Amino acid sequence: MSTEKKAVGGETPSMCMRCKKPTAHIIVSMVQDRIAKVQCKSCGGQHRYRDPEAPLKPPGKRQGKVSPEEVWGKAMNPVTPQKKIPYTFSGHFKVNDLIDHTTFGLGVVTHLLAGDKIQVLFKDGEKILIARR
Ligand SMILES: [Zn+2]
């Protein structure tokens, strides 16, 4: 079992974005116990240390984020039993009001928007509705 500590000048595997694969790197700088900057032994490029074991998180993908259903479920739960307000264009709504929409079902008002609009969280996501307040 290796207990040797990583240190500047030592070697560590890291993802190299230029080589587009994990390669051997020399540790260039460290912050406390963590490797900060490394130099690729293959291409010589210096960059931030990237753990080759860490899963890649493609930007834009909503992985790991809670689904609208979960958010909706959470929004429903803490609400003390209150009466559902049937949604109408001329309804008066405020944040946290429980809305009963004929198409979208039950929703919670999350924001009051400018221009007679409200943002409501339904089971399949947030929707902007018209409401004259
Ligand atoms: Zn490289």
Summarised one tens digit per residue, pLDDT across range 69-102 is: 888 887 777 656 678 899 998 888 999 889 999 9
CA dist 6 and 37 (Å) reads 12
Q: What is the pLDDT of residue 57?
A: 64
**Strands of the sheet with 11-16, listed across from one edge:** 11-16, 21-31, 34-40, 46-48
Question: How many Å lie between the centroid of ligand 1 and the Cα of residue 69?
Answer: 42
> Both 72 and 117 in a single domain?
yes
Question: How many Å lie between the centroid of ligand 1 and the Cα of residue 13?
Answer: 11
Question: How many Å lie between the centroid of ligand 1 and the Cα of residue 35?
Answer: 17
> Both 43 and 82 in a single domain?
no
Q: What is the pLDDT of residue 25?
A: 97
DSSP assigned state of 72: H
> Both 72 and 124 in a single domain?
yes
CA dist 18 and 36 (Å) reads 17
CA dist 82 and 109 (Å) reads 13
Structure tokens at 117: 């609009």
pLDDT at 66 over 80: no
Q: How many helices (H) and strands (E) does the chain have?
A: 1, 9
Say how many domains are in the chain.
2
Question: How many Å lie between the centroid of ligand 1 and the Cα of residue 90?
Answer: 62
Whether 54 maps to a domain, the answer reads no
Q: What is the pLDDT of residue 59?
A: 61
Question: How many Å lie between the centroid of ligand 1 and the Cα of residue 22?
Answer: 8
Structure tokens at 18: 């230029």
Whether 61 maps to a domain, the answer reads no
Whether 6 maps to a domain, the answer reads no
Whether 63 maps to a domain, the answer reads no
Determine the residue type at 45.
Answer: G
Whether 60 maps to a domain, the answer reads no
Range of the domain at 99: 68-130
> Both 78 and 125 in a single domain?
yes
> Both 74 and 22 in a single domain?
no
- Summarize pLDDT for 10-56 with one digit per residue, the tens: 999 999 989 999 999 999 999 988 999 999 999 999 999 998 887 66
Q: What is the pLDDT of residue 83?
A: 82
Question: How many Å lie between the centroid of ligand 1 and the Cα of residue 60?
Answer: 26
> Both 74 and 126 in a single domain?
yes
Q: What is the pLDDT of residue 103?
A: 93
> Both 72 and 126 in a single domain?
yes
Question: How many Å lie between the centroid of ligand 1 and the Cα of residue 4?
Answer: 25
Question: How many Å lie between the centroid of ligand 1 and the Cα of residue 17?
Answer: 7
